[in-house]
Amino acid sequence: MFALANSVDLTPERHIKLVGYASPPRVSTGIRSRLESNAVIFDLNGGKAIVVSIDALFIGSAFIELVREKLVDPTVELIFLASHTHYGPSLDLSKPKLGETDVEWFQNAAEIVASQLNQLILGSPIAVQASYASAPCELSIFRRRKFLHPKRRPPFVQRSVQMMPNPRKSIPNDLQLLKLSSSDGSPIALIWSWPCHPVEASDRNKINAAFPGAVRAALRSELGSSVPIIFMPGFCGDIRPATIHASAGTAFIDRFKIPTEGEVEAFEAGVSAVALETLASGSPLNLPRNASYGRVELQLSDLLDGADSAMPISHLSCGPFSLTALGAEVCSPYLGHLAFDAAQPVFYTGCADETFGYLPTDVQIAEGGYEVERFKGFFEIAGRWKPDVIRKVILSVRALQDGRRSGSGRLHESVEDLFLSRLIEVDG
């Protein structure tokens, strides 16, 4: 594999509007940890692809286009990944109910990122070695819990799904880590993922990269202060940090709360410790020279009545290593339907490129809850979910992963043609 990576600071040095919560509006009062953009460029057969990880809630299509139009080579393939921190300025104009966009900073950030990517495009990728490891990080918790509410009419109770801690639900908690090094062993970049919402802050009004930033600092203490570190939030749509739940006054109800700074520090130290242990246990990978890339767009009208946009799905692969990125906050059961095995260097993530909203499973759709219905108003999404959502999504992912590619590594068959020869059954 041939690659090159870099990192730039993306922290506003002034008070700025923050995004991540519906209300009340927030303006930063300080900086807890700095925001960054980290990127790595890969050689394809006849082209290049860049994976860009930015400390942001989402990265909207307008920001992506603004960056792309400033590139010296507009044909380079791009995969934008948002860390999903809830404590930074908006880079997505399409979700104003989650926080206003500071237009001046939006444009400045696009300039900074475009300059960063141009340095990679004009640079010369070098041969890299890779190592991979994974380990469970049991510091997260399922955030969907069925709950009984009283009713005035028979049967006098109704069941609903609330955003509450649910320790009984088994969730994916594997921390994955891929290290890229030069021939002499010097670290070039590190790619890691752990499915969990970065929402652990004790002070929501401070600019904060959350646990991805804390782990980044810990890894750099081992690798060097300038090593680019790519974070992917995984399929974390229904997963939160486990340390922010506590009794709400009864013996049988736990609710999420804003943690103390001490609880935050303990949580971040715990995740960082697992990341450092995983880094030390990496096994070498044999990767070919060039990567391949493909992208499809699943029309949201296939999933939601009346929807008029699309969910992008990107796939980058190089030998045993692969990255599949979806433009949604994907709920965690999708990993099981994709036969995910953390022992393999196969990464799945949401919050990629233009993210439309949450992607629940068919079972979750039947249950209801925030990830199914209540998010829609905040994300400017309307329409009822259609049947067989999981099946349609898995078909699109598998078609992309298995599809024939052109010399540049881009998928060139239509998704519909691929479906016909690769239909699979998925139990929803």
Residue 230, domain member (yes or no)? yes
First-to-last alpha carbon distance for the chain, in angstroms, is 37
Residue 196, domain member (yes or no)? yes
- Which residues does 366 contact at the CB level (< 8 Å), separation at least 6? none
pLDDT by residue (tens digit) across 238-256? 999 997 555 554 445 567 8
pLDDT at 147: 81
Residue 222, domain member (yes or no)? yes
Residue burial 276-301, b: 16+ Cβ < 10 Å; e: rest: bebbeebeebebeebbbbbbbbbebe
Report, as ranges of residue numbers, the positions in the chain whose pLDDT lies below 70: 149, 244-254, 404-428
Q: Which of 345, 295, 312, 243 is nearest to 1 (CA)?
A: 345
Provide the domain limits for residue 29. Answer: 2-128+169-283
Distance CA 104, CA 98 (A): 18
pLDDT at 414: 37
Q: Return the structure tokens found at 12.
A: 């506003």
Q: Return the structure tokens found at 259.
A: 């943690």
Residue 427, domain member (yes or no)? no
Distance CA 409, CA 48 (A): 9
Sort residue 76 into left (φ over 0), alpha (ψ -120 to 50) or beta. beta
- Name the amino acid, one letter, at 12: P
Residue 288, domain member (yes or no)? no
Strand spans (E) along 157-273 = 157-166, 174-181, 187-193, 206-207, 229-232, 239-241, 245-247, 254-256
The SS3 call for residue 228 is coil
pLDDT at 259: 92
Residue 134, domain member (yes or no)? no
H or E, element range at 356: none
Q: Return the structure tokens found at 77.
A: 């393939």
Distance CA 122, CA 72 (A): 8
For the purposes of burial, counting CB atoms within 10 Å of the CB of 204, is it exposed (0-12), middle (13-18) or buried (19 or more)?
middle
Residue 61, domain member (yes or no)? yes
Residue 221, domain member (yes or no)? yes
pLDDT at 246: 53
Count up the domains in the chain and report the number.
Answer: 1
